[in-house]
Structure 1
Amino acid sequence: MDFFNNHKKLFGTAALFFIGLTILVAVIPAINNQQNNAPLPNAIALSADAKKGKALFISNGCVACHTQQVRNVDMDKVWGKRPSMAADYAAIHRTDFWRNTATLMGTERTGPDLTDVGNRQPSKDWNLVHLYNPRAVVKESVMPAYPWLFTVKKEPAKNEVVVNVPAAFTKGIDGKIIATKDALYLIAYLQSLKQTPLPEGSVAPAFLYKSEKKAAAGGAAAAPELDGKALFAANCQACHQENGEGLPGAFPPLKGSQTVLGDDLEKYVGIIMNGYDGLPGYGVMPSVGKNMNFTENEVAAIINHERTSWGNNAKKVTPEEIKKIIDLVKSKVPQQ
C-alpha cells in the first residue's frame, strides 16, 4: 500500500492520532477537573512574601523530604483535621509557563507533612531556630541546616530579626545571628500552610482503618483515655523539649515553672489556648490551643502531664474544671 510507503502520510497520521488521543485522555479530563473543583470559600491566597518563600522552598529541595497531603488513613490524623481533597489544590497554578512544580504534594515523608504546619507550629521564633540548625530544637532531626539564610552582626539594626539560637550551636560566632529576607520569606510560606475549614454543613471525608476500641468488662467499648505525654510531644515538645527544660534564651522551661506548679489555672489555660508574650528574654508563644481547637479533655491531659513530669509534683486537674476556665478565657479574648 502507498500509505505505508509514504512517510509523510504515515507519520502525519500517527501524529494526528497521538494529538487526538492526548486531548481525549489528558487535556479534556484536566479541564473538566478544573471546572468541577473550585477552591474552598475560606481559602486564603498566598501573600507576596509567602510566594517568594514558596520559590525558596522549591529551590532548596524541601519537597524531597516533606509532603503536603493528608491521606484518608487514620495514621495521618496527626497531620491535619481531615483528609486532603481536590479543592485544597484548586487555586494553585503553575510556577511559570515552563514549570508545574505548584502543588508540592511530595512523595516522601523523611520529614513531617506540612499541610497544616501553619497551625501545628506557628511560632516564628521556633521556625527560625529550626531553619538555622534543626538539631537545636529536635535532637534526632536529620534535616540539613540552612545557615546561608542567616547573617552575623555585632550590632543588629532595629528592624532586623535576631534569632535566639542556643549557645551550644553558636560556638565561634562573634555577634548576633540575623535572619535574612530569604529566611523570613520561607517562614512566611510555612506559616501560610493551613488546612482550610470546610463550609458549615459540609461533611469531611472520613479517616479509614481506625483502630478498634477495646471492650470494657461490661461489654461496652471503653472510652479512650487521652495520652497527655503524646499530646505534649505533638504540640509542645518542639519548643519546651522532652525533658521540660526548654531552650535558654529561646523557649522557657516547664520543669519547676511556677505557672505549671501554681494555682492560677486561668493564667495557665490562657497561655495554652491564646499564647503568651510576657516573659522577658523568650520568644512569643503562639495560641497553640486555639489553632489546634483543643478540647477541655486535651488541655487537661497536657496540664496533668506537665504537672507530674520532670520532678514536677502538683495537683492534677479535671476536664470539667478546665472547661469552665476555657469558657471564661474565651469570653475575655477581644473579638476580631
Structure 2
Amino acid sequence: MNPTRKMWVIFGGALALYVLIVMLIAVIPAIDLSHTAPGPGVQPLTPLHVQGREVFAGNGCGYCHTQQVRPLTEDKVFGRPSAPGDFSYQTPELLGSERTGPDLTNVGKVKPSDVWQYIHLYDPRAVVPQSIMPNFRFLFRVVDQLPAGETAVPLPAKFAPAHGYVVPTPQAKALVAYLLSLKQQPIPGYVAPAEAAPAAAPTAAVAPAAAGGYAYDAAKGQALFEANCAACHQASGAGVPGAFPPLKGNAAVASDDPGLHLRTVLHGASGVVIDGVKYSSVMPPFAAQLSDADIANIANYERSSWGNHGKPVTAAEVATLRAGSK
C-alpha cells in the first residue's frame, strides 16, 4: 500500500470511529429522549427557565451537581428514583456524573426561597459555612442607588460590600428561576420501599427535652429541622442576619402560647419583624408537606433548643390549628 493510500485509510478509519462515537453518545440518546413522553405533572420550561438552564450549563454547575436520583438508599434524601419522563424537557448533560455538591433534582422544594438562592450564589459560605462551592459574584452588581423595582440582596455584614447595594443581574435572576423550577412531580401509585428493620432494633428514642421535662421524639425533630429548616434558620438557630430570622431567643418560639409559632410553620410568613429587624424573605408553608406529628416534633425541637424554653406542643394542637384555617 502506497503512503498516500495508507494515510487516507487511517484518516477514514479515524473519521468513521468519531462518527460512531458521536452517534452512540449523542445522536441516538437525543433521538431516544425526544420520544420519551413527559411524566405526570412535568411541564415545559418557560423562556426564563430555558435562559436559566443555559446559565447553569454555561457556568459548569453540572460538574459538581447532579439532577438524577438513583434507586439507592443513600439517594432517598433527594427524592424518589428518577424516571425517564422527568427529563422530557431537559438535556442529558444536566444529569451530571459526580456529586461534589448535593443533587439538585428537588432544590426548588428543599430551598424554595429566592433570597436564600441569591445569597448562596453571591457567597455560599454566608448560608453554609462549610461549603467549598466557589462564589458567583460576577452574576451580581453593586450599585450606589437601588434601581426602581429592584430589591437588594440582604447579605450578612461579613459578606456585604463596604458601600452600595448588591442586586442580581438578569443572568442571576434566570438561574434562580431555573433552580426554583426543579421539583420532582409525584408519580401516581409510586410507593417508596420500606426500610428493613435491624435484627434487634432498640426502642425508638424518645428523649425528654432539656426544658420542661416533657418528652418528644428528639432525634426525629432534629432530623426534620435539619432537612426542612436549617438551610435558612441555620443549625445553630441563629438565622442569617438581615435575611432569615433567628429561632434562638425568638419570642414566638419561646412563648407559652404556641399558636403563632405553629401557624407560621403551617402557613408560612413574610415581612416579620424581630427585635426591630424586618425580614423580607418569604418562608414557605409546610402544611402540605408535613404531618401534624412532624410539625409538632419540629416545633418542640425548636422550642427546647439553643436555650429556648417554650411550652411543648402536641400533634393534636397542630391538627386543631390546621383544621381551623380551612
TM-score range, shorter chain: 0.7 to 0.9
Give how far 1:324 is off: 2.5
Alignment of 1:97-108 (within 5 A): 102=92, 104-108=94-98
- Number of aligned residues: 307
Determine whether 1:145 maps to 2:138: no
Q: Secondary structure at the match of 1:167?
A: coil
- Provide the residue aligned with 1:300 in structure 2: 296
Q: Secondary structure at the match of 1:279?
A: strand
Q: Deviations over 1:217-267 (max 9, x none)?
A: 8xxx86995521122122111111122111221111111111111244332
Determine whether 1:193 maps to 2:182: yes
Q: Structure 1 residues 91 and 52, CA, compared in 2 at 3 Å: closer, same or farther?
A: closer
Q: Structure 1 residues 237 and 28, CA, compared in 2 at 3 Å: closer, same or farther?
A: closer
- Provide the residue aligned with 2:309 in structure 1: 313
- Conserved in 1, the CA contact under 8 Å of 2:271 and 2:282? no
Q: Secondary structure at the match of 1:165?
A: coil
- Conserved in 2, the CA contact under 8 Å of 1:67 and 1:113? yes
Distance across 2 between alignment mates of 1:29 and 1:76: 24
Between stretches 314-323 and 245-254, larger displacement belongs to 314-323
Q: Secondary structure at the match of 2:225?
A: helix
User: Partner amino acid for 1:323?
Assistant: A
Alignment of 1:1-12 (within 5 A): none
- Provide the residue aligned with 2:59 in structure 1: 60
- Provide the residue aligned with 1:48 in structure 2: 47
Q: TM-score under structure 2 normalisation?
A: 0.81
Between stretches 223-232 and 142-151, larger displacement belongs to 223-232
Distance across 1 between alignment mates of 2:99 and 2:28: 32
Q: Secondary structure at the match of 1:245?
A: coil
Query: What is the RMSD computed on CA atoms of the aligned residues?
Result: 3.4
- Provide the residue aligned with 1:276 in structure 2: 269
- Provide the residue aligned with 1:71 in structure 2: 70
Q: Deviations over 1:73-116 (max 9, x none)?
A: 22222211x111111012335xxxxxxxx450111111111001
Q: Secondary structure at the match of 1:284?
A: strand
| Alignment gaps of 5+ in structure 1 | 1-5, 94-101, 332-336
Distance across 2 between alignment mates of 1:78 and 1:301: 19
- Provide the residue aligned with 1:98 in structure 2: none
| From 47, 72, 90, the counterpart of 1:92 | 90
Sequence identity, in percent?
Answer: 41
Q: Structure 1 residues 25 and 238, CA, compared in 2 at 3 Å: closer, same or farther?
A: closer
Distance across 1 between alignment mates of 2:60 and 2:69: 20
Alignment of 1:109-188 (within 5 A): 109-171=99-161, 173-188=162-177
Q: Secondary structure at the match of 2:248?
A: coil
Q: Secondary structure at the match of 1:151?
A: strand
Give how far 1:298 is off: 1.5
